Chain A
Amino acid sequence: MPKPIKLGPQPGNPTELILNGEVATNEWKILPQLEEGETFDINALPPGKVILPLRQWQAHREALAKRSAEVGVWLDSDEGAELIGSEAANLPLIAIHFPAFADGRGFSAGRLLRERFGFKGELRAVGGFMRDQLTYLQRCGFNAYAFEGEQPLTILKESLHDFGDSYQSGVDQPLPMFRRRF
């Protein structure tokens, strides 16, 4: 499998996050993608709940089956939801990385996981997204938001309620307004 020559920014592991609308302790540890030359030892995984890069999860899916409730997967912004596909229905957590807030591919990935691939677990935004995107993320099916660094999460979570209604279909409100007006 070809490796990236140079890794972009990697998601971090803040101690707290916004989960289902509340500030919560981060119980999951996200592992970065492998640097060039690095190898992945499945037996050296840290204990507890871990979120693996897509490639490691793909390579070791069978071996990880025993601890499936403790293994999540994260997608980088150039990795589409179809790479997990219907396997999503069996995962407890999928994280989607936003290397920069302007990179909007993760919005499509989130919706597809929820609407097409039957994902019911925790859908977590990680990386450089910003507060003002929370309503969009929520509408695309995200329910967990791990901001980078120390952030005033109790204030940020207010932005989940920036809008009270929406025109088009989304995960939170599947019916577009034209089906609700009459």
Chain B
Amino acid sequence: MYRYDDRDRAIINDRVVQFRGQTERYLAGELSEEQFLPLRLQNGLYIQRLAPMLRIAVPYGLLNSSQLRRLARVSRDYDKGYAHFTTRQNLQYNWPQLEDVPAILAELAEVEMHAVQTSGNCIRNTTSDPYAGIALDEIADPRPYCELIRQWSTFHPEFAFLPRKFKIAVSGSEQDRAAIRVHDIGVQIVKHGEEIGFQVLVGGGQGRTPVIAETIRDFLPEEDLLSYLEAIVRVYNQLGRRDNKYKARIKILVKALGPEEFGRRVEEEWQHIKDGVEKLTPEALQWAKSFFTAPDYKTFDGAASEAALQQQADSDKAFARWLDRNTYPHRVPGYRAIKLSTKPTGVPPGDVTDRQLEAIADLADAFSFGEARATHDQNVVLADVEQGQLYELWQQARKHGFATPNIGTLTDMICCPGGDYCSLANAKSIPVAEAIQRRFDDMDYLYDLGDLNLNISGCMNACGHHHVGHIGILGVDKKGEEFYQIQLGGSASNEASLAKVLGPSFSRAEVPEVIGKILDLYVEQRQAEEPFIDTYNRIGLQPFKERVYAKAN
């Protein structure tokens, strides 16, 4: 993974000093709330319903064990001993004291971490595929490009006060696991012959007005990545709406101009700068790639290793299940990636205790070259595990509450913090997640249902990605009461689609029952091994609607 040198360290330390000064000025009354707001937001600090919330940047989800241990220590010393993995591969503290934030940032800087641009109307943390570098369908490793984008966007002087927040995702594989079609900019690595380049998509997003991104360039040469991004954001900075925050995202501008005209303006701007200093040099590209080389893998006989694993699986059903749901194929024979589930029943999705953060660090050190990856579905990946060690890892993961074999199933929900924490929320989301987990706790049933994404947002800002859940649940406010709208058919994959609203909303108590009816219909209607989303795409919304809203006889 990327390691800081003296220059990176100097910049982050300057930021720590700057933010300490800003916090002191605010506490001394020299900065108004309004003035302090963008400054604290660009340092990831929100004022929430009950306490401040501090969002720590985890660049494209990569963490090493010393960072995990420091995050654990900070949660113990400055918070209530837990933290929360977000859908942008970041990590949040829900209970820090405002006065302590400068000290927290100083502690994090010691392990090359920060909270820069994790909020505010600026370029946010770039996200990517949690299986980068190991996936079988990878075209090229996205991480070097993510790191180059991270550096380019960090304290970008021109783009710190954009019309609205700005999110970039990079996918390096054939299957999109970074949801690039619902980002302000989606970058897809492609190859023309041996030449690496990028397909560039713009104007996707969730929130109040969900939009699937449009392609404005089919092939951008590798060395032009940063100058082209600069052209896009420059056009947006100048033309994006600033009169209405709900119409300020780039997706609204792209819609208004049309993707072709928007793309034309980007190309026009880019012509001025494409051969300028932001053009990536061969040395810079090679340097960025040098941080993401393969670790020191052992040589295994792949077939023998598979056979041995199969034997273990045959003799232990629980292990077999975990193997089936929570592990992921690896391009090197004898290795697998594994996903630690943060979603056992009764724990808010994405929440981990200080002890668990330390356990992840220990597991990473023992089994995966000391590194771990936060995922956009709020779990944690250990990417490089020897198959011969999976059984041992599974047992240890179980001890720490990470081995719930529910990855990719109904109970592996994406869920925002909702009304329990967030001041924007219309409704709570965590209790809804828990009620669903409790109702559908039969593992045999969950396996039978197979791959199913259920996403919950507590308001239309869509932090819980409800628009792109196979089943999406949206908290709404009806005359001061919390209700929940159900949507079906969303997807953030290559065939991205936006979920459609089923019909009138339900009370919280009704939600598990409604989900039950939807699943019953799916089970009745599915053909052979057909996953939920395929059945939905085949039969459409109407049969689900009829089932859910049928009058009781």
Q: Is A45 an interface residue (CB 8 A)?
A: no
Residues of A within 8 A of B7 (CB): 165, 177, 181
Q: Assess whether A15 is interfacial by the CB under 8 Å rule.
A: no
Asked if A37 lies at the interface with its beta carbon under 8 angstroms from chain B, I say no
Q: Smallest Cβ distance from B206 to chain A, in angstroms?
A: 23
Q: Identify which of residues 49-68 in chain A touch chain B, using a CB-to-CB cut-off of 8 Å.
A: none
Interface bits B7-30 vs A (CB < 8 Å: 1, else 0):
100110011011000100000000
Query: Complex formed: what's the CA distance from A116 to B10 in Å?
Result: 30
Residues of B contacting A140 with CB < 8 Å? Answer: 157-158
9 A-B contact pairs sorted by A residue (CB < 8 Å)? A101-B38, A104-B121, A104-B161, A140-B158, A167-B151, A168-B152, A176-B152, A176-B277, A178-B281
B39 CB-CB contact with A under 8 Å = yes
Chain B: minimal CB distance from A110 (Å): 8
A22 neighbours in B (Cβ, 8 Å): none
Q: Which of B60-68, B208-216, B234-242, B539-547 contacts A (4 or more CB under 8 A)?
A: B234-242
Among A101, A139, A166, chain B packs the most CB atoms within 10 A around the CB of A166
Contact A136 B35, beta carbon cutoff 8 Å:
no
Q: Mark A109-144, 1 if CB is under 8 A from B, else 0.
A: 101000010000000000000101101111110000
CA distance A81 to B237 in the complex (A): 13
Across the two chains, which residue of chain A brings its CB closest to B158? A107
Tell whether A107 pairs with B152 under 8 Å between CB atoms, given A175-B277, A181-B5: no
Count A/B pairs, Cβ under 8 Å.
111
Contacts of B154 in A (CB 8 A): 167
Contacts A104-B160, A107-B159, A182-B287 given; indicate if A166 touches B11 (C-beta within 8 A): yes
Q: Does B284 contact A (CB under 8 A)?
A: yes
Minimal Cβ-Cβ distance residue in A for B150: A167
Do A162 and B14 form a contact, CB below 8 Å, given A108-B238, A169-B276, A176-B277? yes
Interface contact A182-B283, CB-CB below 8 Å: yes
- B160 contacts A101, C-beta separation under 8 Å: no
Contact across chains for A178 and B280 when beta carbons are under 8 A apart: yes
Closest residue on chain B to residue A109 by CB atoms: B238
The answer to whether A103 and B11 touch across the interface, beta carbons within 8 angstroms, is: no
CA–CA, A182 and B158, complex, Å: 26
Is B14's CB under 8 angstroms from A164's CB? yes
Indicate if the CB atoms of A176 and B278 lie closer than 8 Å. yes
Q: Does B538 contact A (CB under 8 A)?
A: no
B281, A177: Cβ atoms closer than 8 Å:
no
Min CB distance B275 to A, Å, is 13
List residues of chain B with CB within 8 A of the CB of A165.
7, 10-11, 14
- For B153-179 the 0/1 string (1 means CB < 8 A from A) is 111111111110000000000000000
Given A162-B18, A164-B14, A176-B278, A136 and B152 touching (CB < 8 A)?
no
Counting contact residues on chain B (CB < 8 A from A), the size range is 35 or more
Q: How far is the CA of A103 from the CA of B153 in the complex (A)?
A: 18
Contact of B35 with A130 in the complex, beta carbons under 8 Å: yes
A104 to B158, CA, bound (A): 7
- Judge whether A101 and B283 touch: CB under 8 Å: no
Give B42's nearest chain A residue, CB to CB: A132
Contacts A132-B39, A181-B5 hold; do A166 and B155 have CB atoms under 8 A apart? yes
Residue of chain B at shortest CB distance from A111: B158
Q: Which of B22, B157, B288 contacts A135 (CB 8 A)?
A: B157
Expressed in whole angstroms, the minimum distance between the Cβ of A80 and any Cβ of chain B is 6
Within 8 A of A (CB), among B387-425: none
CB under 8 Å from chain A, chain B span 440-479: none
Please tell me which one of the listed residues A104, A105, A132, A164 contacts residue B22 in the complex, with CB atoms under 8 A apart.
A132
Q: What chain A residues lie within 8 Å of B287 (beta carbons)? A: 178, 181-182
Q: Assess whether B237 is in contact with A107, with CB atoms less than 8 Å apart.
A: yes
How many residues on A have C-beta within 8 angstroms of the other chain's C-beta atoms?
37
Closest 8 CB pairs of A and B: A104-B161, A139-B157, A178-B284, A136-B157, A167-B151, A107-B158, A162-B18, A163-B14
- With contacts A101-B35, A104-B158, A182-B287 known, what are 17 further pairs, Cβ within 8 A? A101-B161, A103-B161, A103-B242, A104-B237, A105-B237, A105-B238, A107-B157, A107-B160, A108-B237, A130-B35, A136-B160, A163-B18, A164-B10, A165-B11, A168-B152, A181-B5, A181-B7
Asked if A14 is at the interface (CB within 8 A of a chain B CB), the reply is no
A168 near B278 with CB under 8 A, answer yes
A85 an interface residue at 8 Å Cβ cutoff? no
B159 to chain A: which residues have CB within 8 Å? 104, 107
Once the chains are docked, how many angstroms separate the CA of A133 from the CA of B155?
11
A92 at the interface (CB under 8 A from B): no
Minimal beta-carbon separation of A137 from chain B (angstroms): 8
> Would A178 and B157 count as touching, CB distance under 8 A?
no
Complex-state Cα separation, A104 to B284, whole angstroms:
30
- Quote the shortest CB–CB distance from B525 to chain A (angstroms): 51
Residues of B within 8 Å of A168, CB to CB, are 151-153, 156-157, 226, 278
Residue of B nearest to A172 (CB): B157
A50 to chain B, nearest CB (A): 27
Residues of chain B contacted by A107 (CB below 8 angstroms): 157-161, 237
A32 within 8 A of B: no
Does B298 sit within 8 A of A, measured CB to CB? no
CA–CA, A105 and B278, complex, Å = 21
B residues within 8 A CB of A103?
161, 242
Q: Nearest A residue to B35 by beta-carbon distance?
A: A130
Contact bitstring A146-182, B, C-beta under 8 A = 1, else 0: 0000000000000000111111111000111111011
Please, which residues of chain B bring their CB within 8 A of the CB of A80?
Answer: 238
- A44, CB-defined interface residue at 8 Å: no
B148:A102 contact, CB within 8 angstroms: no
Knowing A140-B158, A168-B151, say if A102 contacts B14 (CB, 8 Å).
no
Pick from B39, B226, B234, B242 the residue with the most CB of A within 10 Å: B242
In the complex, A169 Cα to B229 Cα: how many Å? 13
B551 within 8 A of A: no
Task: Out of B121, B272, B276, name the residue touching A102 (CB < 8 Å).
Answer: B121
B280 and A108 contacting across the interface, CB-CB below 8 Å: no
Task: Give the residue name and chain of the B residue nearest to A166 (CB).
Answer: B155
Residue of chain B at shortest CB distance from A178: B284
Q: Chain A residues with Cβ under 8 A from B272's Cβ?
A: 116
Q: Tell which of A108, A130, A167, A174 touches B11, judged by Cβ atoms closer than 8 Å.
A: A167
